[in-house]
Amino acid sequence: MIGKISTAIKEPFKAYREINRCYHQRLGRRMFNTAGIDVFNQDWDNLILLDACRYDIFEETNSISGQLQKKESRGAMTREFLRGNLIDKDLTDVVYVTANPMLYRDSSEISVEFHNVINVWQDDGWDETESTVLPETMTQHAIQADRKYPNKRLFIHYLQPHYPFIGHDLTSAIPDPAVTENDIWTRKVRGDDVATKEEIWSAYQNNLELALESVKELLDVIEGKCIVTSDHGNLFDERVWPLPNREWGHPNGIYVSQLVDVPWLEVPFDSRKSIKAEKSESTTITEESKVIDRLEQLGYK
């Protein structure tokens, strides 16, 4: 208790955030945003997910043809999205191609059964220079999966526009060694002198543009009905509620529009896949230390 009080005094934004979280989660009675849609109950052959993509910036930036709608996500962050859509489900008609290690870390809690999970973030899929999985790498793996599993739905999880920002070093200022959380979002909400809002927004938009270029290449190749969407949005110094403190990033359990309103773009298609559920294939196991390292480089704690 003394430790929590000390933290609240030093970093009051954490106390404000926790109060807001209690409000949105109904004092912890909601594990995810129950007002959001179940994406696996929707009609699609390929679900292409852009991690942390706000609806408004997608609407402004996107040039992919299709019918765009605004949908409400079940999560304010990836973990909530996965929890809200996957727990205890039989998805043996789906292959999950992912750049994000979050499901791997939470696999004991989220007991979903896919036909297969392709963890692109392992080994050669990870770009050590940019500390992420590049969108073109994801497209290559998605195309390979489409060819290998022509009778499966594909759930394709790109990391962009999620931080880190490709080609941008916005965190060169020395972080406070006395604190353990030094990701760009925590440093901004703490008030550290790092990049400006305009610089971060520009880098975020550039990430989205790079992702959309790769998604276009994917859409030129794969068959079936494709949806482009996101798991959650991102805050850029907006005030949240009920306590109107300013927030950055995507803190869990706060279901404001900038975090839960996501794009749902239905791309024109000529034919549908013939989908068949089959017994799950085994997934390669990786070292726990690698999972933790990858998530830390993505800003997760």
Ranges of residues in the chain with a pLDDT under 50 are: 1-6, 177
Give the predicted TM-score (pTM) of the model.
0.93
Q: Give residue 236's pLDDT.
A: 97
How far apart, in whole angstroms, are the C-alpha atoms of residue 46 and residue 294? 26
- Residue 251: asked if its preceding bond is cis (omega within 30°), the reply is no
Whether residue 25 contacts residue 203, with contact meaning beta carbons closer than 8 Å, is answered with: no
Q: Give residue 175's pLDDT.
A: 55
Domains, the chain, with CATH or none: 2-297 (3.40.720)
In 3D space, the residue among 194, 238, 181, 184 whose CA is nearest the CA of residue 54 turns out to be 238
How far apart, in whole angstroms, are the C-alpha atoms of residue 235 and residue 284? 35
Q: Give residue 7's pLDDT.
A: 54
